[in-house]
Amino acid sequence: MVLDGELRPLVSVPLVLEYEAVLTRPEHLAGSLDAQANVDIVRAFCRMGEPVHISHRLRPQLVDPDDEFVLEAAYHGKAEMIVTLNTRDFLIAARRFGIAALRPGEALERIRRQ
């Protein structure tokens, strides 16, 4: 949906740096993609995304400090939802800011109903 222009992910500098750091960890390179391929995916994400300026931090809101980048990008970008496999950690804080925290399947269902 992103590649077809139907969805635009929100991107911020801290969020992109976190994605790149995570995707180039050794445990994420055990599959078929190497570090450069993962960096290329992050770059494509940036090209297709909507830049978000983080004017102020919301921290601390979440248990995992590395997840704060996601919440801040969603808040400042006026996102309808955060799509994550980790809904448990986002649910309360996202709701506090009027943002849904949904698993990918739930997000797709919601988008298709709109």
User: Over the stretch 68-102, which tens digit does the pLDDT of each residue have?
Assistant: 999 999 999 999 999 999 999 999 999 999 999 99
Mean pLDDT of the chain: 91
Residue 28 has pLDDT above 80, yes or no: no
Residue 2 has pLDDT above 90, yes or no: no
- The domain segmentation of the chain, as residue ranges, is 10-113
Question: What's the confidence (pLDDT) of residue 27?
Answer: 84
The Cα–Cα gap between 86 and 61 comes to 15
CB 89 within 8 A of CB 25: no
**pTM value?**
0.86
* Residue 80 structure tokens: 């309808």
